[in-house]
Each structure stands twice: as C-alpha cells, then as structure tokens.
C-alpha cells in the first residue's frame, strides 16, 4: 500500500529551494526511498532539481544553505502506510516513533525522516 502525499510545506521559507551540498548524491534517496521523480534540472543560478510526487513538488538546490536546518512537512493520507512504503523502499529507520502533534486547530499523527543529505522531513496525517 502506498500513501498519497497531499501537500508540502517548508519549515523555513521555500520548499522549492531546499539546500543540499551535492545534488547528484542527494537525488537517489528521493527517487528510491521517497518515491519522487525528477521533473526538471537546472544549472543556473546554481545546480538544482525539481522533484514531484502525487501532484506536489519540492526543489533541491546547491545554494549554500545548511540542510541540517531545513526540510518540509508532508501531509499524507495515511501516516502508517507512508512509513511502511518508505521502509519497503529501503528507508534505514527501524521505528516510525509516531506521535500526535498539534498545529493550530488540527492534530496530526506524525513521524520524522532525516535524509542522507541531512534535510529533515515530517510526514503527518490529519486526525479527525
């Protein structure tokens, strides 16, 4: 069972400009584990790529930023299915360590994934 990624919201400023040190080294994790496809690549003003999945897009860029300080929240339709999918795709994380986080009036069942490039992703399913 695969999950549907519904939205992407950056932690800081721009989900289309997430910093990575080495774009070519970063992309395989997103394709293989996270299920994204490369939509486009650019060399100027710096090396970057747009990746897409389920109608959402993120951008990775060699922009000099610190990957350890950035990432995205992905709203998914099913948090447990999302973790199972990523694990079956090769995610080297034994437990999801699900928890309930409050964001405004909404509650989300969430788990976190830290990519090899050090970007941190929170995947969450809104709880009804």
CB 60 within 8 A of CB 14: no
The per-residue pLDDT for 113 is: 98
pLDDT in tens, 45-81: 999 999 999 999 999 999 999 999 999 999 999 999 9
Percent of the chain with pLDDT over 90: 94
Helix ranges restricted to H, the chain: 23-32, 79-88
Q: Other CB atoms closer than 10 Å to residue 28's CB: what's the count?
A: 11
Q: What is the pLDDT of residues 95-118, one digit of tens each?
A: 999 999 998 999 999 999 999 999
Q: Are strands 48-53 and 5-10 parallel, antiparallel or unpaired?
A: unpaired
The answer on pLDDT for 17 being more than 80 is yes
pLDDT in tens, 22-49: 999 999 999 999 999 999 999 999 999 9
pLDDT for 37: 98
User: pLDDT class for 128, splitting at 50, 70, 90?
Assistant: confident
Cα 83 to Cα 2: distance, rounded to the nearest angstrom: 9
pLDDT above 80 for 1: no
Q: Report the candidate in 117, 118, 83 with the shortest Cα–Cα distance to residue 97.
A: 83
* pLDDT of residue 10 exceeding 80: yes
Residues 91 and 40: their CA atoms lie apart, in Å, by 24
Q: What architecture is the 5-127 domain classified under in CATH?
A: Roll (3.10)
- Which strand (E) or helix (H) includes residue 17? none
Question: Among candidates 71, 59, 56, 65, which has minimal Cα distance to 116?
Answer: 71
Average pLDDT along the chain? 96
The answer to whether residues 58 and 107 touch, using CB atoms and an 8 Å cutoff, is no
Q: Which of 116, 120, 128 is nearest to 27 (CA)?
A: 116
Where are the chain's structural domains?
A: 5-127
């Amino acid at each position: 069972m695969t999950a549907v990624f519904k939205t992407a919201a950056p932690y800081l400023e721009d989900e289309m400009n997430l910093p990575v040190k080495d774009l070519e080294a970063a992309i395989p994790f997103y394709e293989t584990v996270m299920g994204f496809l490369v939509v486009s690549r650019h060399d100027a003003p710096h090396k970057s790529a747009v990746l897409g999945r389920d109608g959402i897009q993120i951008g990775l860029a060699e922009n000099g930023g610190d990957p350890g300080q950035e990432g995205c929240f992905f709203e998914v339709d099913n948090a447990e299915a999302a973790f199972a999918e990523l694990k079956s795709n090769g995610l080297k994380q034994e437990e999801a360590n699900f928890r309930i986080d409050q964001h405004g009036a909404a509650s989300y069942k969430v788990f976190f994934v830290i990519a090899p490039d050090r970007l941190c992703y929170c995947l969450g399913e809104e709880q009804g």
